[in-house]
A and B are shown apart, each in its own frame.
Chain A
Amino acid sequence: MPRWGMVIDLDRCTACGACMAACKVENNVQIVPVDESERGRRMHWLRLLTQTQGSYPNTQIRIVPNLCMMCDNPPCTKVCPVHATYLGEDKLVGQIYPRCIGCRYCMAACPYSVKTFNWSHTEPPPGMDAILNPDVSVRPRGVVEKCTFCYHRLQVAKENARAEDRPVRDTDYQPACVENCPADAMVFGNLDDDLSLVAQLSRSARAKRALEHLGTEPKVYFLERRDAQV
Protein backbone atom coordinates (compact mmCIF):
# COMPACT_ATOMS: atom_id res chain seq x y z
CA MET A 1 0.00 0.00 0.00
CA PRO A 2 1.59 3.32 -1.04
CA ARG A 3 2.09 5.95 1.64
CA TRP A 4 1.14 9.09 -0.23
CA GLY A 5 3.06 12.22 0.67
CA MET A 6 4.15 15.55 -0.67
CA VAL A 7 7.33 17.59 -0.75
CA ILE A 8 7.16 21.35 -1.27
CA ASP A 9 10.37 23.11 -2.26
CA LEU A 10 10.21 26.59 -0.74
CA ASP A 11 13.13 27.64 -2.92
CA ARG A 12 11.03 27.02 -6.01
CA CYS A 13 7.69 28.35 -4.77
CA THR A 14 6.96 31.78 -6.19
CA ALA A 15 3.69 32.22 -4.30
CA CYS A 16 1.83 32.58 -7.59
CA GLY A 17 -1.29 31.02 -6.13
CA ALA A 18 -1.84 28.53 -8.95
CA CYS A 19 -2.12 25.75 -6.36
CA MET A 20 -4.80 27.69 -4.48
CA ALA A 21 -6.84 28.30 -7.61
CA ALA A 22 -6.46 24.72 -8.83
CA CYS A 23 -7.53 23.36 -5.46
CA LYS A 24 -10.62 25.54 -5.31
CA VAL A 25 -11.77 24.60 -8.78
CA GLU A 26 -10.93 20.90 -8.52
CA ASN A 27 -12.65 20.41 -5.18
CA ASN A 28 -15.65 22.71 -5.60
CA VAL A 29 -14.48 24.77 -2.66
CA GLN A 30 -17.05 27.45 -2.08
CA ILE A 31 -16.27 30.96 -3.28
CA VAL A 32 -17.29 32.93 -0.26
CA PRO A 33 -19.02 36.21 -1.13
CA VAL A 34 -17.85 39.62 0.01
CA ASP A 35 -19.95 40.00 3.14
CA GLU A 36 -19.04 36.57 4.48
CA SER A 37 -15.43 37.07 3.51
CA GLU A 38 -15.32 40.29 5.53
CA ARG A 39 -16.29 38.22 8.57
CA GLY A 40 -13.25 36.01 8.17
CA ARG A 41 -15.13 33.08 6.69
CA ARG A 42 -13.07 32.56 3.56
CA MET A 43 -12.62 28.96 2.55
CA HIS A 44 -9.41 27.54 1.18
CA TRP A 45 -8.19 23.97 1.44
CA LEU A 46 -4.77 25.30 0.57
CA ARG A 47 -3.55 28.72 1.62
CA LEU A 48 -0.26 30.57 1.42
CA LEU A 49 1.10 31.62 4.77
CA THR A 50 3.20 34.76 4.50
CA GLN A 51 5.76 36.11 6.90
CA THR A 52 7.67 39.32 6.27
CA GLN A 53 11.09 39.65 7.83
CA GLY A 54 13.24 42.77 7.97
CA SER A 55 12.43 46.17 6.64
CA TYR A 56 12.84 47.75 3.23
CA PRO A 57 15.25 47.42 1.44
CA ASN A 58 16.37 44.30 3.30
CA THR A 59 13.01 42.63 3.27
CA GLN A 60 12.50 38.90 2.98
CA ILE A 61 9.10 37.40 2.52
CA ARG A 62 8.78 33.78 3.54
CA ILE A 63 5.84 31.99 1.99
CA VAL A 64 4.68 28.54 2.95
CA PRO A 65 1.81 26.70 1.28
CA ASN A 66 -0.43 25.35 4.01
CA LEU A 67 -2.65 22.35 3.39
CA CYS A 68 -3.71 19.21 5.26
CA MET A 69 -0.49 17.53 6.38
CA MET A 70 -2.14 14.09 6.24
CA CYS A 71 -0.62 13.20 9.59
CA ASP A 72 0.10 9.56 10.39
CA ASN A 73 -0.85 10.46 13.96
CA PRO A 74 -3.58 13.04 13.39
CA PRO A 75 -4.91 14.96 16.41
CA CYS A 76 -8.10 15.89 14.56
CA THR A 77 -9.40 12.32 14.29
CA LYS A 78 -9.00 11.70 17.99
CA VAL A 79 -11.37 14.46 19.01
CA CYS A 80 -14.15 13.86 16.50
CA PRO A 81 -17.15 12.58 18.45
CA VAL A 82 -18.87 11.06 15.44
CA HIS A 83 -15.98 9.55 13.52
CA ALA A 84 -16.54 11.99 10.68
CA THR A 85 -12.82 12.53 10.28
CA TYR A 86 -10.68 9.42 10.28
CA LEU A 87 -7.39 7.92 9.14
CA GLY A 88 -8.24 5.71 6.20
CA GLU A 89 -6.64 2.56 4.89
CA ASP A 90 -4.57 4.68 2.51
CA LYS A 91 -3.15 6.51 5.54
CA LEU A 92 -4.92 9.63 4.33
CA VAL A 93 -7.07 11.68 6.68
CA GLY A 94 -10.61 11.65 5.34
CA GLN A 95 -13.70 13.68 6.09
CA ILE A 96 -17.21 12.23 5.87
CA TYR A 97 -19.43 15.25 5.35
CA PRO A 98 -22.87 13.66 5.97
CA ARG A 99 -21.60 12.43 9.32
CA CYS A 100 -20.09 15.75 10.45
CA ILE A 101 -22.18 17.57 13.07
CA GLY A 102 -20.21 20.81 12.81
CA CYS A 103 -18.82 20.80 16.36
CA ARG A 104 -15.48 22.01 15.01
CA TYR A 105 -13.46 20.11 17.63
CA CYS A 106 -11.23 18.90 14.80
CA MET A 107 -10.55 22.47 13.73
CA ALA A 108 -9.45 23.32 17.24
CA ALA A 109 -7.29 20.20 17.48
CA CYS A 110 -5.51 20.67 14.17
CA PRO A 111 -2.21 22.40 14.95
CA TYR A 112 -1.86 23.47 11.32
CA SER A 113 -5.25 25.26 11.10
CA VAL A 114 -5.98 23.70 7.76
CA LYS A 115 -9.62 22.83 8.29
CA THR A 116 -12.39 25.21 7.27
CA PHE A 117 -16.00 25.45 8.29
CA ASN A 118 -18.99 26.03 6.03
CA TRP A 119 -20.62 28.95 7.76
CA SER A 120 -23.12 29.22 4.98
CA HIS A 121 -23.83 27.48 1.76
CA THR A 122 -23.76 29.77 -1.19
CA GLU A 123 -25.06 28.49 -4.46
CA PRO A 124 -22.69 29.14 -7.33
CA PRO A 125 -23.66 32.25 -9.26
CA PRO A 126 -26.01 31.59 -12.19
CA GLY A 127 -24.11 30.04 -15.03
CA MET A 128 -21.14 29.09 -12.86
CA ASP A 129 -22.58 25.83 -11.59
CA ALA A 130 -21.37 24.34 -14.86
CA ILE A 131 -17.78 24.56 -13.65
CA LEU A 132 -18.41 22.31 -10.65
CA ASN A 133 -16.36 19.11 -10.67
CA PRO A 134 -18.81 16.16 -10.84
CA ASP A 135 -16.31 13.90 -9.06
CA VAL A 136 -16.44 15.89 -5.82
CA SER A 137 -19.52 16.43 -3.68
CA VAL A 138 -20.64 19.95 -2.80
CA ARG A 139 -20.63 20.38 0.96
CA PRO A 140 -23.66 21.66 2.86
CA ARG A 141 -23.71 24.37 5.47
CA GLY A 142 -22.46 23.47 8.95
CA VAL A 143 -19.77 20.92 8.13
CA VAL A 144 -16.01 21.00 8.32
CA GLU A 145 -13.99 20.35 5.20
CA LYS A 146 -10.34 20.13 4.29
CA CYS A 147 -7.80 19.01 1.71
CA THR A 148 -8.10 15.36 0.75
CA PHE A 149 -4.98 15.11 -1.44
CA CYS A 150 -7.61 14.99 -4.23
CA TYR A 151 -8.78 11.59 -3.03
CA HIS A 152 -11.25 11.30 -5.89
CA ARG A 153 -8.28 11.15 -8.24
CA LEU A 154 -6.79 8.34 -6.20
CA GLN A 155 -10.06 6.44 -6.53
CA VAL A 156 -9.82 6.71 -10.31
CA ALA A 157 -6.19 5.60 -10.19
CA LYS A 158 -7.16 2.62 -8.07
CA GLU A 159 -9.92 1.63 -10.48
CA ASN A 160 -7.56 1.88 -13.43
CA ALA A 161 -4.95 -0.21 -11.64
CA ARG A 162 -7.54 -2.81 -10.71
CA ALA A 163 -8.72 -2.99 -14.32
CA GLU A 164 -5.15 -3.57 -15.41
CA ASP A 165 -4.59 -6.08 -12.61
CA ARG A 166 -1.64 -4.26 -11.09
CA PRO A 167 -0.94 -2.27 -7.95
CA VAL A 168 -1.27 1.51 -7.92
CA ARG A 169 1.98 3.02 -9.06
CA ASP A 170 3.75 6.07 -7.68
CA THR A 171 2.98 8.10 -10.78
CA ASP A 172 -0.65 7.04 -11.15
CA TYR A 173 -2.14 10.12 -9.60
CA GLN A 174 -1.31 13.69 -8.66
CA PRO A 175 -3.38 16.17 -6.68
CA ALA A 176 -4.54 19.23 -8.62
CA CYS A 177 -2.20 21.61 -6.78
CA VAL A 178 0.84 19.52 -7.70
CA GLU A 179 -0.31 19.15 -11.26
CA ASN A 180 -0.77 22.90 -11.66
CA CYS A 181 2.34 24.19 -9.93
CA PRO A 182 4.18 26.08 -12.70
CA ALA A 183 7.44 26.08 -10.76
CA ASP A 184 7.43 22.32 -10.05
CA ALA A 185 7.75 23.26 -6.41
CA MET A 186 5.37 20.50 -5.33
CA VAL A 187 6.24 16.83 -5.72
CA PHE A 188 3.80 14.05 -4.86
CA GLY A 189 4.11 10.32 -4.66
CA ASN A 190 4.75 7.25 -2.56
CA LEU A 191 6.98 8.03 0.39
CA ASP A 192 7.68 4.32 0.89
CA ASP A 193 9.01 3.85 -2.64
CA ASP A 194 12.74 4.47 -2.39
CA LEU A 195 12.92 5.13 -6.10
CA SER A 196 10.24 7.79 -6.09
CA LEU A 197 11.27 11.42 -6.31
CA VAL A 198 9.12 12.36 -3.36
CA ALA A 199 10.83 9.77 -1.16
CA GLN A 200 14.27 10.92 -2.22
CA LEU A 201 13.44 14.57 -1.64
CA SER A 202 11.89 13.82 1.74
CA ARG A 203 15.29 12.54 2.84
CA SER A 204 17.05 15.72 1.72
CA ALA A 205 19.03 17.66 4.29
CA ARG A 206 16.69 20.56 3.57
CA ALA A 207 13.56 18.55 4.30
CA LYS A 208 11.60 19.58 7.37
CA ARG A 209 8.09 18.91 8.59
CA ALA A 210 5.92 21.53 10.25
CA LEU A 211 5.64 21.36 14.05
CA GLU A 212 7.46 18.07 14.05
CA HIS A 213 7.89 18.15 17.81
CA LEU A 214 4.16 17.56 18.26
CA GLY A 215 4.54 14.00 17.03
CA THR A 216 1.79 14.26 14.46
CA GLU A 217 3.98 12.61 11.81
CA PRO A 218 2.83 14.76 8.89
CA LYS A 219 3.33 13.43 5.38
CA VAL A 220 3.97 16.86 3.88
CA TYR A 221 7.63 17.86 3.83
CA PHE A 222 9.05 21.31 3.16
CA LEU A 223 12.44 21.83 1.59
CA GLU A 224 13.87 24.84 3.38
CA ARG A 225 15.10 27.77 1.41
CA ARG A 226 18.83 27.53 0.96
CA ASP A 227 19.41 31.01 2.35
CA ALA A 228 17.52 29.95 5.47
CA GLN A 229 20.02 27.18 6.11
CA VAL A 230 23.00 29.48 6.62
Chain B
Amino acid sequence: MGPSIVDSPLPLDYAGLQQPAIAPLYESRSFEDAWFALARRIGGPAAAAVPAGSFAEWLPVAASGLLAAGRGTLTAGASEEDIAGFMEARGWRIAGPETPAAFWQGLRRVGAWVDVPHVERSPADLLGPGIEHFSLCPDPLLRDVRKLTGTHVEPLAVYTGPPGPADENNAAKAAPDTYPLRLLLFDTNTLWGGRTALTPLMLEMTGHRQDVAWDSWVEIHPETAARLRIEEGDQVRLESPVGSLVTRALVAPVVPVDVVAMPRGLGHRDFGRFANGVGANPLPLVPPRTDAWTGAPVLAALVRITRAPE
Protein backbone atom coordinates (compact mmCIF):
# COMPACT_ATOMS: atom_id res chain seq x y z
CA MET B 1 0.00 0.00 0.00
CA GLY B 2 1.38 3.40 -0.92
CA PRO B 3 0.88 6.88 0.45
CA SER B 4 -2.41 8.44 -0.51
CA ILE B 5 -4.42 11.61 -0.33
CA VAL B 6 -7.80 10.72 1.12
CA ASP B 7 -11.16 12.42 1.02
CA SER B 8 -12.50 13.94 4.19
CA PRO B 9 -15.78 12.92 5.77
CA LEU B 10 -15.96 16.41 7.26
CA PRO B 11 -17.85 19.27 5.59
CA LEU B 12 -14.67 21.11 4.76
CA ASP B 13 -11.84 21.04 2.25
CA TYR B 14 -9.42 18.54 3.62
CA ALA B 15 -6.42 16.59 2.41
CA GLY B 16 -4.72 13.92 4.46
CA LEU B 17 -1.44 12.20 3.79
CA GLN B 18 -0.81 8.78 5.20
CA GLN B 19 2.40 6.81 5.30
CA PRO B 20 2.29 3.25 3.87
CA ALA B 21 1.25 0.77 6.50
CA ILE B 22 3.72 -1.78 5.12
CA ALA B 23 6.59 -1.53 2.66
CA PRO B 24 5.94 -3.04 -0.81
CA LEU B 25 6.72 -6.73 -0.70
CA TYR B 26 9.67 -7.78 -2.89
CA GLU B 27 9.46 -5.82 -6.12
CA SER B 28 5.73 -5.26 -6.06
CA ARG B 29 4.27 -1.83 -6.56
CA SER B 30 1.77 0.23 -4.62
CA PHE B 31 -1.79 0.16 -5.81
CA GLU B 32 -1.52 3.67 -7.25
CA ASP B 33 1.64 2.87 -9.23
CA ALA B 34 0.04 -0.31 -10.54
CA TRP B 35 -2.99 1.73 -11.54
CA PHE B 36 -0.78 4.36 -13.27
CA ALA B 37 1.05 1.62 -15.19
CA LEU B 38 -2.19 0.01 -16.25
CA ALA B 39 -3.56 3.32 -17.54
CA ARG B 40 -0.42 3.99 -19.55
CA ARG B 41 -0.58 0.54 -21.06
CA ILE B 42 -4.20 1.14 -22.06
CA GLY B 43 -3.15 4.40 -23.71
CA GLY B 44 -5.44 7.09 -25.03
CA PRO B 45 -7.51 9.14 -22.53
CA ALA B 46 -6.65 6.77 -19.71
CA ALA B 47 -2.92 7.34 -20.20
CA ALA B 48 -3.44 11.08 -20.52
CA ALA B 49 -5.34 11.16 -17.22
CA VAL B 50 -2.42 9.93 -15.11
CA PRO B 51 0.65 12.02 -14.41
CA ALA B 52 4.12 11.19 -15.55
CA GLY B 53 6.41 9.45 -13.11
CA SER B 54 5.55 7.45 -10.05
CA PHE B 55 2.81 8.14 -7.53
CA ALA B 56 5.42 9.20 -4.98
CA GLU B 57 6.78 11.72 -7.48
CA TRP B 58 3.29 13.03 -8.19
CA LEU B 59 2.30 13.63 -4.58
CA PRO B 60 4.54 16.70 -3.98
CA VAL B 61 3.32 18.19 -7.26
CA ALA B 62 -0.29 17.72 -6.16
CA ALA B 63 0.48 19.15 -2.77
CA SER B 64 1.97 22.27 -4.32
CA GLY B 65 -1.48 22.96 -5.70
CA LEU B 66 -2.78 23.21 -2.14
CA LEU B 67 -0.11 25.75 -1.35
CA ALA B 68 -0.84 27.70 -4.53
CA ALA B 69 -4.51 27.94 -3.53
CA GLY B 70 -3.43 30.33 -0.77
CA ARG B 71 -5.95 28.89 1.61
CA GLY B 72 -6.06 26.41 4.40
CA THR B 73 -3.60 25.36 7.03
CA LEU B 74 -1.42 22.38 7.81
CA THR B 75 -2.79 20.73 10.90
CA ALA B 76 -1.98 17.74 13.04
CA GLY B 77 -5.05 16.44 14.74
CA ALA B 78 -8.60 17.35 15.55
CA SER B 79 -7.93 19.96 18.20
CA GLU B 80 -5.33 21.77 16.15
CA GLU B 81 -7.66 21.58 13.20
CA ASP B 82 -10.42 23.14 15.25
CA ILE B 83 -8.21 25.94 16.43
CA ALA B 84 -6.82 26.61 12.96
CA GLY B 85 -10.24 26.63 11.40
CA PHE B 86 -11.66 28.72 14.18
CA MET B 87 -8.99 31.34 13.73
CA GLU B 88 -9.08 31.28 9.96
CA ALA B 89 -12.82 31.82 9.97
CA ARG B 90 -12.21 34.90 12.04
CA GLY B 91 -9.65 36.53 9.85
CA TRP B 92 -6.43 34.92 11.03
CA ARG B 93 -3.90 33.30 8.81
CA ILE B 94 -1.56 30.98 10.64
CA ALA B 95 1.97 31.32 9.42
CA GLY B 96 2.99 28.31 7.34
CA PRO B 97 5.59 27.16 4.82
CA GLU B 98 6.04 29.42 1.84
CA THR B 99 7.82 27.20 -0.71
CA PRO B 100 6.47 23.99 -2.30
CA ALA B 101 9.36 22.01 -0.83
CA ALA B 102 8.73 23.36 2.68
CA PHE B 103 5.00 22.80 2.31
CA TRP B 104 5.60 19.21 1.27
CA GLN B 105 7.88 18.65 4.23
CA GLY B 106 5.27 20.15 6.51
CA LEU B 107 2.50 18.06 5.03
CA ARG B 108 4.56 14.90 5.48
CA ARG B 109 5.25 15.87 9.06
CA VAL B 110 1.73 16.76 10.22
CA GLY B 111 -0.22 14.65 7.75
CA ALA B 112 -3.11 16.97 6.90
CA TRP B 113 -4.17 20.19 5.27
CA VAL B 114 -7.55 21.69 6.06
CA ASP B 115 -9.50 24.64 4.80
CA VAL B 116 -12.49 25.60 6.91
CA PRO B 117 -15.49 27.06 5.09
CA HIS B 118 -15.49 30.81 5.35
CA VAL B 119 -17.80 32.10 8.08
CA GLU B 120 -18.70 35.75 7.94
CA ARG B 121 -18.22 37.59 11.18
CA SER B 122 -18.40 41.27 11.89
CA PRO B 123 -15.15 42.80 13.11
CA ALA B 124 -16.95 43.99 16.22
CA ASP B 125 -17.52 40.35 17.14
CA LEU B 126 -13.83 39.64 17.04
CA LEU B 127 -11.56 42.13 18.69
CA GLY B 128 -13.78 45.14 18.83
CA PRO B 129 -14.26 47.97 16.41
CA GLY B 130 -11.27 49.88 15.17
CA ILE B 131 -8.73 47.08 15.57
CA GLU B 132 -7.38 46.09 12.18
CA HIS B 133 -4.05 44.52 13.00
CA PHE B 134 -3.22 42.42 15.98
CA SER B 135 -0.40 39.97 16.55
CA LEU B 136 -0.20 37.24 19.15
CA CYS B 137 3.53 37.88 19.20
CA PRO B 138 4.16 41.61 19.66
CA ASP B 139 6.79 43.25 17.50
CA PRO B 140 9.04 44.28 20.42
CA LEU B 141 9.11 40.68 21.65
CA LEU B 142 9.89 39.42 18.16
CA ARG B 143 12.74 41.89 17.87
CA ASP B 144 14.19 40.72 21.18
CA VAL B 145 13.89 37.06 20.23
CA ARG B 146 15.57 37.69 16.88
CA LYS B 147 18.31 39.62 18.60
CA LEU B 148 18.94 36.90 21.16
CA THR B 149 18.75 33.91 18.86
CA GLY B 150 20.14 35.51 15.74
CA THR B 151 17.46 33.77 13.75
CA HIS B 152 14.50 35.00 11.82
CA VAL B 153 11.37 34.28 13.83
CA GLU B 154 7.93 34.82 12.44
CA PRO B 155 4.90 35.46 14.62
CA LEU B 156 2.74 32.41 15.18
CA ALA B 157 -0.32 34.12 13.87
CA VAL B 158 -1.17 37.55 12.57
CA TYR B 159 -4.59 39.06 12.36
CA THR B 160 -4.83 40.43 8.84
CA GLY B 161 -8.28 41.89 8.87
CA PRO B 162 -11.86 40.95 9.32
CA PRO B 163 -13.19 38.41 6.85
CA GLY B 164 -16.73 39.71 6.85
CA PRO B 165 -18.29 43.01 5.86
CA ALA B 166 -18.28 45.86 8.34
CA ASP B 167 -21.09 45.92 10.85
CA GLU B 168 -23.20 48.72 9.49
CA ASN B 169 -25.56 48.55 12.38
CA ASN B 170 -22.88 49.68 14.77
CA ALA B 171 -23.91 53.25 15.34
CA ALA B 172 -20.77 53.94 17.29
CA LYS B 173 -18.56 52.92 14.40
CA ALA B 174 -20.56 55.04 12.03
CA ALA B 175 -19.82 58.09 14.14
CA PRO B 176 -16.53 57.47 16.00
CA ASP B 177 -16.25 61.07 17.13
CA THR B 178 -19.53 60.79 18.97
CA TYR B 179 -18.33 57.95 21.18
CA PRO B 180 -14.55 58.39 21.41
CA LEU B 181 -13.90 56.24 24.48
CA ARG B 182 -13.96 52.51 24.99
CA LEU B 183 -15.75 51.29 28.08
CA LEU B 184 -14.49 48.10 29.66
CA LEU B 185 -16.39 46.42 32.47
CA PHE B 186 -14.66 44.43 35.16
CA ASP B 187 -15.63 42.39 38.18
CA THR B 188 -14.48 43.11 41.70
CA ASN B 189 -13.76 40.29 44.10
CA THR B 190 -16.13 41.84 46.61
CA LEU B 191 -19.18 41.88 44.34
CA TRP B 192 -18.53 38.94 42.00
CA GLY B 193 -20.50 40.52 39.19
CA GLY B 194 -23.26 41.44 41.63
CA ARG B 195 -23.89 38.13 43.31
CA THR B 196 -22.68 39.27 46.73
CA ALA B 197 -24.38 42.67 46.59
CA LEU B 198 -26.96 41.20 48.95
CA THR B 199 -24.77 41.89 51.98
CA PRO B 200 -24.08 45.34 53.40
CA LEU B 201 -20.55 44.24 54.30
CA MET B 202 -19.67 43.67 50.67
CA LEU B 203 -21.48 46.81 49.55
CA GLU B 204 -19.37 48.81 51.97
CA MET B 205 -16.24 47.12 50.65
CA THR B 206 -17.23 47.57 47.00
CA GLY B 207 -14.20 49.66 46.12
CA HIS B 208 -11.91 48.80 48.99
CA ARG B 209 -8.87 49.38 46.83
CA GLN B 210 -10.23 52.58 45.34
CA ASP B 211 -11.53 53.96 48.65
CA VAL B 212 -15.11 53.93 47.36
CA ALA B 213 -18.01 52.54 49.37
CA TRP B 214 -21.67 51.98 48.56
CA ASP B 215 -21.25 53.32 45.05
CA SER B 216 -20.02 52.67 41.53
CA TRP B 217 -17.23 54.53 39.84
CA VAL B 218 -15.67 54.90 36.43
CA GLU B 219 -11.90 54.93 36.10
CA ILE B 220 -10.61 57.63 33.76
CA HIS B 221 -7.04 58.35 32.73
CA PRO B 222 -5.80 61.70 34.10
CA GLU B 223 -5.12 63.06 30.59
CA THR B 224 -8.62 62.19 29.46
CA ALA B 225 -10.10 63.64 32.62
CA ALA B 226 -8.16 66.88 32.18
CA ARG B 227 -9.29 67.14 28.57
CA LEU B 228 -12.90 66.64 29.60
CA ARG B 229 -12.49 68.88 32.67
CA ILE B 230 -13.49 66.08 34.98
CA GLU B 231 -12.08 65.90 38.48
CA GLU B 232 -11.89 63.13 41.02
CA GLY B 233 -15.28 62.45 42.56
CA ASP B 234 -17.26 64.38 39.93
CA GLN B 235 -20.58 62.96 38.88
CA VAL B 236 -20.26 62.03 35.21
CA ARG B 237 -22.69 60.81 32.60
CA LEU B 238 -21.65 57.87 30.44
CA GLU B 239 -23.51 57.47 27.16
CA SER B 240 -23.26 54.68 24.64
CA PRO B 241 -25.36 54.11 21.52
CA VAL B 242 -27.70 51.97 23.59
CA GLY B 243 -27.88 53.54 27.04
CA SER B 244 -26.62 56.00 29.60
CA LEU B 245 -25.94 56.26 33.33
CA VAL B 246 -24.52 58.61 35.94
CA THR B 247 -21.71 57.63 38.29
CA ARG B 248 -18.69 59.14 39.99
CA ALA B 249 -15.32 59.68 38.36
CA LEU B 250 -12.17 58.09 39.66
CA VAL B 251 -9.15 59.64 37.99
CA ALA B 252 -6.35 57.10 37.83
CA PRO B 253 -3.61 56.24 35.33
CA VAL B 254 -4.53 52.56 35.45
CA VAL B 255 -6.44 52.62 32.18
CA PRO B 256 -5.30 53.67 28.69
CA VAL B 257 -6.05 57.21 27.58
CA ASP B 258 -8.91 56.18 25.31
CA VAL B 259 -10.41 53.66 27.71
CA VAL B 260 -12.62 54.01 30.76
CA ALA B 261 -13.33 51.12 33.10
CA MET B 262 -16.24 50.49 35.37
CA PRO B 263 -17.08 47.68 37.80
CA ARG B 264 -20.25 45.73 37.36
CA GLY B 265 -22.39 44.32 40.12
CA LEU B 266 -24.24 47.38 41.42
CA GLY B 267 -27.33 49.26 40.34
CA HIS B 268 -29.75 46.51 41.26
CA ARG B 269 -33.48 47.18 41.08
CA ASP B 270 -34.76 43.99 42.67
CA PHE B 271 -32.05 42.32 44.69
CA GLY B 272 -32.98 42.83 48.30
CA ARG B 273 -33.15 45.65 50.80
CA PHE B 274 -29.44 46.46 50.74
CA ALA B 275 -28.54 46.23 47.05
CA ASN B 276 -31.49 48.04 45.51
CA GLY B 277 -30.59 51.48 44.26
CA VAL B 278 -26.94 51.34 45.28
CA GLY B 279 -24.58 52.45 42.50
CA ALA B 280 -25.17 52.16 38.78
CA ASN B 281 -25.50 49.15 36.53
CA PRO B 282 -23.24 49.53 33.49
CA LEU B 283 -24.70 46.62 31.54
CA PRO B 284 -27.37 48.77 29.78
CA LEU B 285 -24.48 50.62 28.13
CA VAL B 286 -23.29 47.46 26.46
CA PRO B 287 -24.79 46.27 23.17
CA PRO B 288 -26.22 42.77 23.52
CA ARG B 289 -23.41 40.85 21.85
CA THR B 290 -21.47 37.73 22.66
CA ASP B 291 -17.82 37.05 22.08
CA ALA B 292 -17.32 35.05 18.89
CA TRP B 293 -14.51 33.02 20.45
CA THR B 294 -15.92 32.18 23.84
CA GLY B 295 -19.64 32.87 23.66
CA ALA B 296 -19.33 35.09 26.74
CA PRO B 297 -21.09 38.45 26.79
CA VAL B 298 -18.97 41.27 25.40
CA LEU B 299 -18.49 43.57 28.36
CA ALA B 300 -17.36 46.56 26.32
CA ALA B 301 -18.86 49.45 24.45
CA LEU B 302 -17.97 52.76 22.85
CA VAL B 303 -19.01 55.65 25.07
CA ARG B 304 -18.71 59.35 25.65
CA ILE B 305 -18.41 61.03 29.03
CA THR B 306 -19.66 64.40 30.15
CA ARG B 307 -19.89 66.02 33.55
CA ALA B 308 -23.31 65.55 35.01
CA PRO B 309 -24.89 68.43 36.87
CA GLU B 310 -24.95 67.86 40.62
Interface residues of A (CB under 8 A from B): 15-17, 20-21, 24-25, 31-34, 37-38, 42, 47-48, 50, 52, 54-57, 59, 61, 63, 125, 128
Contacts and interface: CB of A to CB of B under 8 A. Distances in A.
B213 A42 contact: yes
A54 B274 contact: no
Contact of B209 (A48, A54, A128): A48
Contacts of A47: 208
Contacts of B210: 50
A56 B252 CA distance: 9
Interface string B257-282: 10000000000000001100010000
A17 B214 contact: no
Given A42-B213, A56-B256, 12 more contacts: A17-B205, A21-B205, A24-B201, A32-B213, A37-B214, A50-B209, A50-B210, A52-B252, A54-B253, A56-B221, A63-B209, A125-B273
Nearest to B255: A56
A20 B257 CA distance: 32
- How would you classify the secondary structure of chain B's contact residues: helix, strand, loop or mixed? loop
A57 B255 CA distance: 8
Contact of B256 (A37, A54, A57): A57
B204 A37 contact: yes
Nearest to B278: A34
B83 interface: no
Contacts of B221: 55-56
B171 interface: no
B200 interface: yes
B218 to A, nearest CB: 15
A32 B201 CA distance: 9
Interface string B202-224: 10110011110111000001100
Contact of A59 (B204, B208, B254, B273): B254
B8 interface: no
A128 to B, nearest CB: 7
A56 B261 CA distance: 13
11 contacts: A17-B189, A20-B205, A20-B208, A31-B201, A42-B213, A50-B209, A50-B210, A52-B252, A54-B253, A56-B253, A125-B200
Shortest 8 CB-CB distances between A and B: which pairs?
A55-B253, A34-B214, A17-B208, A37-B213, A31-B200, A56-B256, A59-B254, A50-B209
B190 interface: yes
